């Protein structure tokens, strides 16, 4: 029997304009320079995303998991990336507190 492999749709194709936990992992990976900001992770399998999550968590651990502990350069990058994501999501109908897209 053939094994079914599910791949990720990519941050640009996410529900709620990417306001999901998986999309946040990708944005954090952009912040920390783990992947290029042009990388949407479209077509990645679960193992690839899990590996990215581990790397993102390792980076956050260095800063106590707090944006306020990031060095200025990373804090500014974080603000830009997340502000852009929130602006785009709102433009596409997402409302803060809307949790319908959390399954990613």
* pLDDT recorded at residue 17: 79
User: b/e per residue, 67-92, with b = 16+ CB within 10 A?
Assistant: eeebeeebeebbeebeeebeeebeee
Q: How far apart are CA 72 and CA 3, in angstroms?
A: 46
Tokens of 25: 């992992």
* pLDDT recorded at residue 101: 47
Checking if the pLDDT of 104 tops 60, the result is no
Mean model confidence pLDDT for the chain: 91
State the residue for tokens 């995303």: 49
Tokens of 49: 């995303």
Residue pLDDT, tens place only, 36-91 = 999 999 999 999 999 999 999 999 999 999 999 999 999 999 999 999 999 999 99
Mean pLDDT, to the nearest integer, of 12-24?
91
How many CA atoms lie within 13 Å of 64's alpha carbon, on the beta-carbon side?
6
Checking if the pLDDT of 10 tops 90, the result is yes
* pLDDT recorded at residue 99: 61
Tokens of 65: 């998991």
């Amino acid at each position: 029997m053939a094994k079914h492999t599910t791949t990720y749709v990519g941050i640009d194709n996410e529900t709620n304009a990417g306001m999901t936990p998986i999309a946040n992992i990708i944005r954090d990976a952009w912040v920390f320079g783990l992947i290029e900001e042009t990388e949407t992770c479209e077509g990645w399998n679960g193992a690839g995303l899990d590996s990215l999550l581990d790397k993102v968590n390792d980076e956050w651990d260095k800063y106590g998991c707090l944006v306020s502990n990031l060095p200025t350069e990373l804090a500014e990058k974080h603000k830009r990336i997340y502000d852009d994501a929130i602006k785009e999501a709102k433009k596409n109908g997402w409302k803060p507190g809307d949790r319908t897209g959390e399954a990613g």
